[in-house]
Copies of this chain bind each other. A is one copy, B any other.
Amino acid sequence: MIAVTETRSAESLSPTDRSTIRRGAKRAVTDRAALWAILDAGLVCHLSTVVDGAPLVLPTGYGRDGDTLYLHGSTGALSLRTAAEGVEVCVAVTLLDGVVYARSVFHHSMNYRSAVIHGSARPVVEPSAKLRALRVLTEHMAPGSWEHAREPNAKELAATAVLAVDLAEAAVKVRTGGPVDDAEDVAANTAWAGVLPVRTVWGAPSPDDALAGAPVPEHVTRRARGR
């Protein structure tokens, strides 16, 4: 949703074996601008950690500042407590763009843009750095809210955990376009094929009851109109 205007970098995003895409390698995208664009367009990420040897994945908000991804939540949240110890995390942001109807069940697919980031999460504790990170997180979730709403006080700041993950290692995959059917199925011509697009849209702002009649501020209406 936020346009990517930054200069593209040719630096590889997948420097190690685990983030090298094996399956569907033709869908792998290796430039940093593509990664940034996916992160900037998403609203929720899925944060995965290992807890007592078992996988745990939870949805959470995030924000991006250059090549740093910020994650936040209550200090009581299991995943963040774990990650704050410096353990490895894996973070996925997935944007679904359509369901691909093929002539065979086998070739049915989805159009999507996905980023899977591997890294170690470090806690952001220095107050001014934490405040900057919270601004990034807030402006990602609700652009304009940092200026409009009351900023965090010391107590709120202490109750919020912020984690930073470097965007150094990531696998980006994008699928677009129609089905890739077998020639025999195309020739048989017995089934419909195409794409049913999926989009995420904003609804009309729903003001809090205590505000009835107060105008909706521009930073909210702008987003509701699609920016």
* Distance, CA A52 to CA B188, complexed state (A): 46
B203-A201 in contact (CB<8A): no
Is A34 part of the binding interface, using a Cβ–Cβ cutoff of 8 Å? Answer: no
B195-A205 in contact (CB<8A): yes
Q: Which residues of B contact A210 (CB under 8 A)?
A: 186, 193
Is A10 part of the binding interface, using a Cβ–Cβ cutoff of 8 Å? Answer: no
The listed residue (B76, B102, B138, B202) touching A197 by CB distance below 8 A is B202
B57-A191 in contact (CB<8A): no
Q: Which residues of B contact A43 (CB under 8 A)?
A: 96, 99, 110, 198
- Which residues 149-184 of A sit at the B interface, judged by CB distance below 8 A? 149-153, 156, 159-160, 178-179, 181
The listed residue (B47, B105, B194) touching A211 by CB distance below 8 A is B194
* Distance, CA A200 to CA B138, complexed state (A): 22
Is A127 part of the binding interface, using a Cβ–Cβ cutoff of 8 Å? Answer: no
Contact A88-B54, Cβ < 8 Å, known A74-B23, A194-B205: yes
Is A94 part of the binding interface, using a Cβ–Cβ cutoff of 8 Å? Answer: yes
Q: Which residues of B contact A190 (CB under 8 A)?
A: 150
A101-B142 in contact (CB<8A): yes
- Which residues 107-164 of A sit at the B interface, judged by CB distance below 8 A? 108, 110, 112, 114, 116, 118, 134, 138, 141-142, 145-146, 148-153, 156, 159-160
Which residues of A approach B to under 8 Å, CB–CB?
Answer: 18, 22-23, 43-44, 46-59, 61, 73-74, 76-78, 88-92, 94, 96, 98-99, 101-106, 108, 110, 112, 114, 116, 118, 134, 138, 141-142, 145-146, 148-153, 156, 159-160, 178-179, 181, 185-186, 188, 190-211, 214, 216-217, 220, 223-224
List of 4 A-B pairs having minimum Cβ-Cβ separation, nearest first = A197-B203, A48-B57, A48-B55, A46-B46
* 9 new A-B contacts at CB < 8 Å, known A23-B78, A106-B159, A148-B191: A22-B78, A43-B99, A54-B90, A59-B114, A101-B149, A110-B141, A179-B208, A192-B220, A199-B202
